Chain A
Amino acid sequence: MALALQTFATVKEANAALKSQGTRYLGGGTLVVRAANEGDVSVSSLIRSTEPSLSAITVTDGKARIGASVTMAAIGGNPDLGFLAKAARAVGGPAVRNMATVGGNLFAPAPYGDFAVALLALDATVSTHDGETPIETFLTRRDSNRAIVTSVAFALPKADGFRFLKVSRVKPKGVSLLSIAAVLELAGDGAVSSARIALGCMADRPMRAKAAEKALIGQSLTKDGIAPALAVGNEGTSPVTDPIASAWYRNEVLPVHLGRLLLT
């Protein structure tokens, strides 16, 4: 079925147009145009906005805000967001990264959504015209979301506080078997004082490994110190089974990769 595209100068007008049946927002189109090419007839009209703020990156006072239309390539090349380059470059090949947006990644079903995993570990907030929502809440409600995401914002982690790992079978580009992001803070004695760990592909969307986070507090990042966290790393997971890996396999290897991430 044929698609129609409607372009609006402002997010406000585009949000109004999205109220009609059969409409969907167009980010970079790597998922939504792909679905249309594959024969998805649930969408008859794509809506987009060219408002410049959607493409802006601002990093000031220890805080970053990334517009929803910013691409993975733009993040990968931004010197102020150097710590995020690895996560942005984990998404697809070079052409996909020139198209794939931050906004679209928030909606990407597993095995996609690697960048959203990073944003979840950063405890980002997601902005729409209704205001800001913590990303964890946003992700649980994303299926019923009809509002255009305008930006994501987060506090910059302390130096070396952010870690990211994507495991795939094909190098350098491959779909995720799983991905893990962590924001860790250490006390003076090297014990973990705060931890946020986000997992990709361990559910239908990015999720926090809260039991592992709790088990890390007060521990040092050594083989023995992280053992309790690894033991509970799978708590609450319900991984996808897809051509990349079975749910069973994902659960089996998660502690191995979580261990590697924590010990790097």
Chain B
Amino acid sequence: MAKVPVQFTLNGSEKAEFIDSGTTLLHALRDKIGDTSPKGGCHQGTCGACSVIIDGELRLSCLTLAETCNGAAITTTSGLSEGGVLHPLQHAFLDTFATQCGFCTPGMIMAAKVLLNHTPNPSRDDVVEALSGNVCRCTGYEPIIQAVLRAARANSQNAA
């Protein structure tokens, strides 16, 4: 199969690859570029573990063809920490025990990040709605909801 070029920024750095046409973004990120933070849970759009942020919007990388991302800015959970310092959301997930097996965590954090970008002080309902496309088999969700609310509070305290 013919290879096609794709070029986008991933967590701020330029990436250019030749991929098979029709490759999903999830496959390109994990197996070509080596960013394994998005997880392949279902490849059906139902679990949200593969969620990434493309040009500011939450997307499912398992249902996105990499070629459609030419020129896009892509953020994954592996790009959140800075200089070894965890992002407030990552801290909050640790502090509230919102991560157990951890498989859903990168997708949850992406969904939460987009929420907090648009709604810095979300209500509990806002958080539930924002995470409604993400499945967790371990935590029972409550610790995750608490983590996102805690990260929002931490952000607003830092901003004050």
Residues of A whose CB lies within 8 Å of any CB of B are 2-5, 7, 26, 28-30, 33-34, 36-38, 46, 48, 73, 92-96, 98-99, 172-173
Contacts and interface: CB of A to CB of B under 8 A. Distances in A.
Contacts of A46: 22, 65
Given A37-B24, A172-B132, A173-B132, A93 B63 contact: no
A174 to B, nearest CB: 9
Given A7-B68, A29-B64, A99-B63, 20 more contacts: A2-B20, A3-B21, A4-B2, A5-B67, A7-B67, A26-B65, A33-B62, A33-B63, A34-B43, A37-B62, A38-B43, A46-B65, A93-B133, A94-B132, A94-B133, A95-B45, A95-B51, A95-B60, A99-B59, A173-B133
A98 B1 contact: no
B154 interface: no
B25 to A, nearest CB: 10
Interface string B37-75: 000000111001001000001111011110110000000
Contacts of A37: 24, 43-44, 62-63
Interface in B1-21: 1-2, 4, 20-21
A2 B59 CA distance: 22
Contact of A29 (B44, B63, B128): B63
Interface of A is mostly: mixed
A34 B59 CA distance: 14
Interface of B: 1-2, 4, 20-22, 24, 43-45, 48, 51, 57-60, 62-65, 67-68, 111, 114, 128-130, 132-134
A26 B67 CA distance: 12
A46 to B, nearest CB: 7
A226 to B, nearest CB: 31
A96 B130 contact: no
Contact of B130 (A30, A38, A94): A94
Contact of B59 (A5, A7, A98, A172): A98
A109 to B, nearest CB: 15
Nearest to B43: A37
B63 A30 contact: yes
B22 A3 contact: yes
7 contacts: A2-B21, A4-B1, A30-B45, A34-B43, A93-B132, A95-B58, A99-B59
Contacts of A4: 1-2, 21-22
Contacts of B22: 2-5, 36, 46
A73 B132 contact: no
Max chain B C-beta neighbours (<10 A), residue from A2, A96, A172: A96
B67 A95 contact: no
Nearest to B27: A37
A132 to B, nearest CB: 28
A48 B68 CA distance: 10
Given A95-B133, A98-B57, A2 B1 contact: yes
A2 B44 CA distance: 16
